[in-house]
Amino acid sequence: MQYPVKKSLPKVLTHGDLWGGNLLVDKDEHGKPTGDLLSIIDWQAAHLGFVAEDFGRMLVTSATGELRRQQTDNILRAYFDDLQKNLAKRGKNCSLTFEIIKDAYDFNFPFTVAFSLMKIPLLLMSPIFADESGKAAAHCVHAIMLRAKLAIEDVIELKRLGRC
């Protein structure tokens, strides 16, 4: 994939399998997640990649399609703003723009969706999604299929717009 080189994107540490199951979050005294990230685990797929590569995986696998559609730009914007602030603290300028980050996300999105679709059969065999009979619960199957459908529609739209 020559995209990062053609766009002069710096290589960055990329997790490679970033999704909600690989995030450890803090819990309050009642056992409810606080949203405070404690650690990211399961780094065997880590590699030198490019900015926004992990965002697609996280959003496709760990958010509903509707929520992903509504919040992607806000999440990418928050990342960009945080990146700028952290670099400024170190006396450095950010060579990336929000548009570059968004373009990188859009370019990588079809690859993310393809990888995620391959994992659907494994997800549906997981006991996490099973009903009392041991089979994948109908509401879980429906939710996963809707997420996949919306992601595929978004890939088609990105392709129509020439974004990937």
Region 12-36: what's the mean pLDDT? Answer: 92
Is residue 10 very low, low, confident or very high in pLDDT (cuts 50, 70, 90)? confident
**What pLDDT was estimated at residue 2?**
75
The pLDDT score that the predictor gives to residue 48 is 92
CB atoms within 10 A of CB 104: 23
How many angstroms separate the CA atoms of 105 and 112, rounded? 10
pLDDT of residue 117: 92
Q: What are the tens digits of pLDDT across the range 38-80?
A: 999 999 999 998 888 899 999 999 999 999 999 999 999 999 9
What are 145's two structure tokens? 């299929």
**What pLDDT shows up at residue 32?**
94
Look at 150 and 128; give whichever has higher pLDDT. 150
Model-level pTM? 0.86
Per-residue pLDDT reduced to its tens digit, 103-144? 999 999 999 999 999 989 888 888 888 899 989 899 999 999
Span 11-19, average pLDDT: 91
The whole-angstrom separation of Cα 38 and Cα 28 is: 13
- Short-list 137, 117, 118, 139, CA closest to 127: 137
pLDDT at 160: 97
Confidence of residue 85 (pLDDT cuts 50, 70, 90): very high
Which residue, among 53, 46, 49, has the nearest Cα to 12 in the 3D structure? 49
Which has the minimum average pLDDT: 47-61, 82-96, 138-152?
47-61
- For residue 136, the cross-strand partners are 130
DSSP 49-112: EETTHHHHHHHHHHS-HHHHHHHHHHHHHHHHHHHHHHHHHTT------HHHHHHHHHHHHHHH
Cα–Cα dist 78/99, whole Å: 13
